[in-house]
A and B are shown apart, each in its own frame.
Chain A
């Protein structure tokens, strides 16, 4: 955790402090998802699922030493970072296994967020707004959590 002065002001932070802050925030969304009913709160589940994954991705980006930008699609930021590492534009050693894992994380996140293909709160049809699929959010959340968890565990 970050070192604080008596007044509560950060003295300094490190990449792990930044990441653990994002994980803490992500877990709030995870817990909300767990309390919601798939039957009655589908839209809210997907919203918090997206928030959960977004924040976990920001944790991963932070571990790599980067301050995540204020956007809702950090998987693209992660892709950009991984690409630049492989191109040698960033001097940071990441093993091929880790790169493959992080690309997997990014891919799972994109699937869950359904980025750039449909709004995460649902799609408007003539008959009204159709919220995202009932069962996939929680299932994909579990996948994301397991994938990310394996990376973030010390």
Chain B
């Protein structure tokens, strides 16, 4: 496995600092990613939720991450057993969704709210190959073209009348 270190790790730290993430949250994020990289090849990382928005409440908020790796392209049962094996040594404050690029794409196209939130306003800490940024551009384009809307924290497919069936293409 390519342990997260050197220039790549520096980029993660720099991004956390640049975006003003407090050390009390940045430190476990780094520890989590370095620890996890002993087991899987991490391709992308998105920090989202209250910590990313700067609204976290000390000792109450979790640190929400989406970690993308081809090594997570496995049946859900295997992911669960991976979590049981690896989770012990990783900081408990971090709540991470482990997904393969394929699954993230599927959740994105499936109009899954928290994934859209993360793509839209999360902090991209790592993005080998630019996969996450590509999703972000697609979402921005869909918003700009009015194919999806944002209303008071909701994601919305703009339907004009109740009973209308509208497909969302992201």
Contact = CB atoms under 8 A, between A and B. Distances in A.
B161 A92 contact: yes
A121 interface: no
Interface residues of B, number: 30
A68 interface: yes
Contacts of B155: 66-67
Contacts of B167: 12-14
Interface string B1-37: 0000000000000000000000000000000000000
Contacts of B153: 69
Contacts of B158: 65, 91
Contacts of B156: 65-67, 90
Interface stretch (B55-63, B109-117, B133-141): B109-117
Nearest to A70: B114
B114 A64 contact: no
B106 A94 contact: no
Interface residues of A, number: 31
A93 interface: yes
Classify the secondary structure of A's interface with B: mixed
A69 B169 contact: no
A98 B97 CA distance: 38
Interface stretch (A3-11, A24-32, A41-49): A3-11
A15 B152 contact: no
Contact of B168 (A7, A13, A69, A84): A13
B157 A12 contact: no
B151 interface: yes
A15 B166 contact: yes
A32 B141 CA distance: 43
A114 interface: no
A38 interface: no
Contacts of B157: 14-15, 65-66
A15 B112 CA distance: 12
12 contacts: A12-B169, A18-B111, A65-B156, A65-B157, A66-B151, A66-B156, A67-B116, A81-B154, A84-B152, A93-B162, A94-B161, A98-B162
